[in-house]
C-alpha cells in the first residue's frame, strides 16, 4: 500500500460560520451536499451514496471552526479528512479549508471531487 499525499484546498463561501458549520457537522446538513443520505450514531457517521455505504468516525469537532472524520478503512492509519472554517476578522470573509489524503495518482481526481462537492454545498447555501 502506497503512502497517500496530504493536500489542502480553500474555498471562499459567502455565508455565516454558524450556518456553514451546521452543513458540515450534522447528518441532515451533510446529506444536503456530501452524500445521498447520512445517519449517525454517536461518533459514527454512515454516508450513503446510491448502493454504497461508507462509515466514518468523528475524530474531533470544534464549533464553529472545524470537524475531522476518519473513514473506518483508515482507522489504523493517520489518514483523515477535515473541514475547517476560516474567518477573517477584518474582511469578515469566510473560507472552507478541506484537508484530505489521496494516492499520488489520484490527487487531481480527488481535488476535482471536492471542488464538485463544495460547488453543491454552495448551491444549497445560496452562496456564490
pLDDT interval class at 127 (50, 70, 90): confident
Q: Indicate the pTM of the whole model.
A: 0.94
As a whole number of angstroms, the distance between CA 67 and CA 56 comes to 12
Q: Quick one: what percent of the chain has pLDDT higher than 90?
A: 95
Domain CATH number, residue 94: 3.30.530.20
Which residue range(s) make up the domain with 55?
5-125
The pLDDT score that the predictor gives to residue 17 is 94
pLDDT interval class at 16 (50, 70, 90): very high
Domain count for the chain? 1
The whole-number average pLDDT for the span 32-53 is 96
The pLDDT score that the predictor gives to residue 71 is 97
- Torsion (CA) 16, 63, 12, 88 in degrees, nearest 10: 80
Amino acid at each position: 500500500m502506497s503512502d497517500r499525499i496530504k493536500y489542502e484546498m480553500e474555498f471562499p463561501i459567502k455565508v455565516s460560520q454558524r450556518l456553514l458549520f451546521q452543513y458540515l457537522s450534522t447528518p441532515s446538513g451533510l446529506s444536503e451536499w456530501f452524500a445521498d443520505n447520512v445517519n449517525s450514531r454517536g461518533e459514527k457517521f454512515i454516508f450513503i451514496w446510491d448502493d454504497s455505504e461508507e462509515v466514518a468516525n468523528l475524530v474531533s469537532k470544534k464549533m464553529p471552526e472545524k470537524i475531522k472524520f476518519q473513514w473506518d478503512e483508515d482507522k489504523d492509519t493517520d489518514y483523515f479528512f477535515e473541514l475547517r472554517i476560516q474567518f477573517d476578522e477584518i474582511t469578515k470573509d469566510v473560507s472552507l479549508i478541506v484537508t484530505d489524503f489521496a494516492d499520488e495518482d489520484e490527487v487531481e481526481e480527488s481535488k476535482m471531487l471536492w471542488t464538485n462537492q463544495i460547488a453543491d454545498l454552495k448551491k444549497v447555501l445560496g452562496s456564490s
